Amino acid sequence: MSDSVMRTAGRSPDERAGRLSEIELSVNGRVRRLAVDPRTTLLDALRERLGLTGTKKGCDHGQCGACTVLVDGRRINSCLTLAVMHEGDEVVTIEGLGAPDDLHPMQRAFVERDGFQCGYCTPGQICSAVGMLSEVAAGWPSHATAAADAVAQRIALTDEEIRERLSGNICRCAAYPHIVAAVRSVAEGDAG
Amino acid sequence: MTGQGMTGQGHAGQGVIGRAVHRVDGPLKVTGRATYAYEHGAEDRPLYGYIVGATIGRGRLTRIDTANAERAPGVRLVMTHHNAPEQGPRDTSVPIEYWRAQPMLTGPEIHHYGEPVALVVAAAFEQARAAAGLVEVAYEERPGRYDFAALRDDTYVPKVVNAGLPTDTAVGDFDAGFRSAAVTVDRLYTTPYEFSMPMEPHACTAVPQGADLTVHVSAQIVDAALASVAATLRLDPARIHVVAPYVGGGFGSKLGIHAETILAALAARMVRRPVKVALTRQQIFQLVGLRPTSSQRVRLGADRDGRLVALAHDVTMHTNPDMEYAEQTAATTRSLYAAPHRLTSHRLTPLDLPRGEDVRSPGDAPGLLAVESAMDELADALDMDPVELRIRNEPTVDPERGVPYSDRHLVECLREGARRFGWERRPTRPASVRDGQWLVGYGTAAAIRGHFQMPTTVRVRLAADGTATVQSDMTDIGTGTYTILTQVAADGLGLPTDRVRVELGRSEFPTSMGSGGSWGAANSSTAVHRACHALRKRLLAAVREDTRSALCGLPWEKAVFADGRVRIGEASEALSDLVARHFPDGVQTTGETLAMTDDPHYSAYSIHTYGAHFAEVGVDADTAEIRLRRMLGVFSVGRVLNAKTARSQLIGGMIWGVGAALQEEGVVDVRTGAFATRDLAHYLVPVHADIPAVDAVVLDGYDDKANALGAKGIGELGICGAGAAVANAVFNATGVRVRDFPLTLEKVLPGLPPPEE
Ligand code: FES
Ligand code: FES
């Protein structure tokens, strides 16, 4: 913080200190240009700068999964990554997956199976589940995958697999059995 | 006061009440459009507050230097006890803690680790957080009392325990009864500090507008938040607007507001800008109350047939010295089993730790861990089936109050659960069944939870287009309030659910007791039911003499409201036509639920909810790793308002019980008074991989003594006894009895049977 007292009249303190970084990234299919404090996490950029508050902050330390978003199709904890590291990336948040009158199949399955209660972990669970299903489709093994399946890169989506792969998403309301049911119903294509 | 005589409204049967309707707030929640406390006011460009906490457990601030923080980029305010506004004192004559003032930054004294010493407010979160690190604090540390195990005999007797329940009770002559018993169990159980840890951190966005202040809070009880902010800031309550439409879980920890709300509100008024503050996950472990740690002695004396002759439950727990909290840990033991000679007691050990507060199912959650483990020990000592032992001790009247039970179905829960679970396959000898690497065991426990009724008012309004709006300051913290009130109003007015709109969580709406104590659903749905009844009466009074109506002159007592129409015999009229003609501006009424102290049923009957848990665990024969394999709960809760949300809540509660049995444990660093477990990597709660198939079944029911809908609370019942069922299953699997919760593997490992050849 040695430069913290650098001041020039007429500009915001951050601009005065020359501390903002310009970034450009795509969020939910729209190109967004931002000048951010380099310390800003992707999570806070989404919530506080872009008004996309559907992505939740539960711990800010990579321990709860509430902040899960899809970056270039892969799920990540957006609290554990800085916005400036995502120049040119394609970010999809819960708002980008679907809208109340146009639900994504995973969102619809969560409503139908009651895969949530308070709803705070839910955007993260849903983004995580969507990302997870593509990991399974790509044949990525998990701790719960049988060795032979891992070698063959053919994953049987057992309930164990779903649970293991979603364990980074804590639900304190403990909607777990219904989340697993929702994910399974999407994987089996009977969400409707 | 039901709708009888006028309609079939409100009675169990085919209606919309009870149906497994999807949550009406679901589409907003699954698309991220439901906005929580920290997510408001973006258009006003709020400032960000960050709390600086004390790094000692007890002592005083000798110096606090904010100069560097104040000069840091973006900083607008650094608030300490030097410049914090004068605040109202915590007034213990206000009966419930959550309605009291919660003054912050009042002086240099430090009462517990993490107590706020400053709030830094800046234009951006990153700036506030960085500047918080520049606040320089010096302390004079004093020795504190932090170690419960060492100090637990140093107790005092509280005047009452939580919920105003008696501290001690005694019936018969316990000592003589216990001495005379053929078989006895006398054991000490300990339970750890536990934290609610809702996924949404405690947060507030405070928006000043002239003399008014709007606080977007994450709160279970809007009225308590309002009273507490008003008393602390010494403001006219009419100038404060509390908004809490969505709450990301509370589990007791949001019954009251904490530092985040008071500091945001103080700062917002000082800088005349919106200010938002959220506790970090680590701060939640220091700034929000916790479940006290306890040590519980349980003594059971029975005859050879397993009939209890003496039962005692003596509890010691920690309390903060200034803010007493006595969890009612032995309270439901008073109603659970028959026994002629009985004792219960609660004692407090003052420690310089954050105050205790209600954590989901206060009292019953830790109490039943002990009592229901002891019952299992008694069954083992008697060589009796634990289900049978419990059935044998079923009381006919409440054994301490001497009044009848309103609607007790514990035995049915036990029998139905045993049947569905396949209890007859339970290994009768501990450590006798193996499945490969796993030692397998079954466990059971009973669930009981008091049912409370609190004063609640709602408003129901019918518009001329035939749509209804329900308004209450009641909250939906994941409990399903929006959905069940939609159902109750749809039933009460005979409307399809999509013509009912429920608006909650604003202090401008009629006052409720919010969500807590499992009372929210019954309180608010009974009030809606009554408001609808009153509305139907007004509409029928209007139509009686109305010659333009097809219903004119017909026997109005026979009217049925259904499908958006009012029907008397063959004649019918659209509800919207009727409203439009007589009440072109709409018509509204309020409905009320009385406090239980004003409702004679609550003194004449012992009103509870019940359940029975069945758990199967596997314990790794070499490492003692414990895995839950499956679990079933069968519950009796009166009438269910929504089969889907009820089941979800019960399952959620059961999983909390699993966490209490196997994982959750707040550990104090006894040198400093800080919690060593202060994030979700160290304070472990159940995650997906920990939880296999868990099912909850609810028996059909209707408790006519509870309220007009026959419905009782379910939010906490699921936890009650759940952890004991898991612990009892571990004993059945291994022969190892752990009495120090949670059952982590190092406590089980030394007692495991020797490896097989
Ligand atoms: S907020 Fe990112 S993992 Fe918890
Ligand atoms: S729905 Fe409340 S934390 Fe998951």
Active site residue B327: no
Q: In angstroms, rounded to a whole number, what is the distance separating the alpha carbons of residues B675 and B148?
A: 13
Nearest to B353 by CA among B684, B681, B666: B666
* Residue A65 alpha carbon, nearest atom of ligand 1: 3
The residue nearest atom 3 of ligand 1, judged by CA position, is A62
* Residue B478 alpha carbon, nearest atom of ligand 2: 2
Q: What is the pLDDT of residue A180?
A: 98
pLDDT higher at A85 or A5: A85
Residues 58-97 in A contacting B (C-alpha not used; CB under 8 Å): 58-61, 63-64, 66, 93-95, 97
| pLDDT mean over B247-262 | 98
Show the tokens assigned to B724. Answer: 């004991």
Nearest to A125 by CA among A168, A92, A160: A168
For the domain with range B11-34+457-593, which CATH number is right: 3.30.1050.10, 3.30.365.10, 1.10.1740.110, 3.30.450.40?
Answer: 3.30.365.10
> Taking CB atoms and an 8 Å limit, are A172 and B123 in contact across chains?
no
Q: What is the pLDDT of residue B265?
A: 98
Q: What is the pLDDT of residue B545?
A: 85
The set of protein residues with a Cβ atom below 6 angstroms from ligand 2 is: A 116-122, 171-173, 175; B 199, 249, 478
| pLDDT mean over B263-274 | 98
What sign does the CA torsion over B599, B604, B606, B609 have? negative
Report how far ligand 2's centroid is from the alpha carbon of B645 (Å). Answer: 13
Q: What is the pLDDT of residue A90?
A: 98
Output DSSP code: residue B321.
Answer: S
**Structural domain spans, chain A:** 3-97, 105-187
Residue B528, classified by CB atoms within 10 Å of its CB into exposed (0-12), middle (13-18) or buried (19+), is buried
Q: In angstroms, rounded to a whole number, what is the distance separating the alpha carbons of residues A116 and B645?
A: 9
Q: What is the pLDDT of residue A153?
A: 86
Q: CATH class for domain A105-187?
A: mainly alpha
Q: What is the pLDDT of residue B212?
A: 97
| pLDDT mean over B534-541 | 95
Hey, which bits of B83-148 come out as E strands? 109-110, 116-122, 136-141
Output DSSP code: residue B483.
Answer: H
What share of chain A has pLDDT > 70, as a percent? 89
> Taking CB atoms and an 8 Å limit, are B689 and A163 in contact across chains?
yes
Contact B375, B733 (CB under 8 A): no
* Single-letter amino acid code for the residue at B439: L
For residue B4, is pLDDT > 70?
Answer: no
Contact B99, B242 (CB under 8 A): no
Report how far ligand 2's centroid is from the alpha carbon of B502 (Å). Answer: 21
Lowest mean pLDDT among A172-176, A187-191, B301-305, B684-688: A187-191
> Taking CB atoms and an 8 Å limit, are A13 and B74 in contact across chains?
yes
For residue B387, is pLDDT > 60?
Answer: yes
The predicted-structure confidence for B436-447, as pLDDT tens digits, reads as follows 999 999 999 999
The tokens 């904890």 sit on which residue?
A77
Which residues in chain A have Cβ-Cβ distances shorter than 8 Å to B644? 114
Q: What is the pLDDT of residue B2?
A: 34
| pLDDT mean over B81-93 | 96
Show the tokens assigned to B190. Answer: 């300990």
Q: What is the ipTM of this complex?
A: 0.96
> Taking CB atoms and an 8 Å limit, are B201 and A5 in contact across chains?
no
| pLDDT mean over B89-109 | 96
Smallest CA–CA distance, residue B296 to chain A, in Å, is: 27
Q: What is the pLDDT of residue B15?
A: 86
The predicted-structure confidence for A148-186, as pLDDT tens digits, reads as follows 888 888 999 999 999 999 999 999 999 999 999 999 999
**Would you place residue B544 in the very low, low, confident or very high pLDDT band (cuts 50, 70, 90)?**
confident
Length of chain A, in residues:
192
| pLDDT mean over B266-275 | 98
What share of chain B has pLDDT > 70, as a percent? 98
For residue A10, is pLDDT > 50?
Answer: no
**Structural domain spans, chain B:** 11-34+457-593, 35-360, 363-452+602-655+691-751
Chain A residue at shortest CA distance from B285: A59
The predicted-structure confidence for B662-707, as pLDDT tens digits, reads as follows 999 999 999 999 999 999 999 999 999 999 999 999 999 999 999 9
* Residue A168 alpha carbon, nearest atom of ligand 1: 3
In this complex, which of A5, A59, A110 lies closest to B281 when CB atoms are compared?
A: A59
The set of protein residues with a Cβ atom below 6 angstroms from ligand 1 is: A 57-60, 62-67, 77, 79
Q: What is the pLDDT of residue B14?
A: 53
Q: What are phi and psi of B382, to 5 degrees?
A: -85, -10
* Selected catalytic residue, list B716, B746, B756, B757: B716
Q: What is the pLDDT of residue B169?
A: 98
Q: What is the pLDDT of residue B755?
A: 78
Contact B371, B313 (CB under 8 A): yes
For residue B624, is pLDDT > 60?
Answer: yes
| pLDDT mean over B346-358 | 97
**Would you place residue B326 in the very low, low, confident or very high pLDDT band (cuts 50, 70, 90)?**
very high
Q: In angstroms, rounded to a whole number, what is the distance separating the alpha carbons of residues B207 and B229?
A: 13
For residue B498, is pLDDT > 70?
Answer: yes
Evaluate whether B11-34+457-593 and B35-360 have a shared fold: no
Q: In angstroms, rounded to a whole number, what is the distance separating the alpha carbons of residues B117 and B52?
A: 6
For the domain with range B363-452+602-655+691-751, which CATH number is right: 3.90.1200.10, 3.30.365.10, 1.10.3720.10, 3.30.930.10?
Answer: 3.30.365.10
The predicted-structure confidence for B7-46, as pLDDT tens digits, reads as follows 445 444 458 999 999 999 999 999 999 999 999 977 889 9
In this complex, which of B22, B32, B655 lies closest to A174 when CB atoms are compared?
A: B655
pTM: 0.96
CATH of domain B35-360: 3.90.1170.50
Q: What is the pLDDT of residue B41?
A: 79
| pLDDT mean over B72-100 | 96
Contact A21, A82 (CB under 8 A): no
- pLDDT averaged over chain B? 96
Residues in a beta bridge with B78 = B120
| pLDDT mean over B415-426 | 98
Peptide bond into B192 cis (omega under 30): no
Contact B633, B613 (CB under 8 A): yes
Pairing of strands B59-65, A21-27: unpaired
**Second-level CATH architecture of A3-97:** Roll (3.10)
For residue B106, is pLDDT > 50?
Answer: yes
Q: What are phi and psi of B419, to 5 degrees?
A: -65, -50
> Taking CB atoms and an 8 Å limit, are A120 and B127 in contact across chains?
no
In this complex, which of A98, A144, A168 lies closest to B31 when CB atoms are compared?
A: A98
- pLDDT averaged over chain A? 91
pLDDT higher at B200 or B756: B200
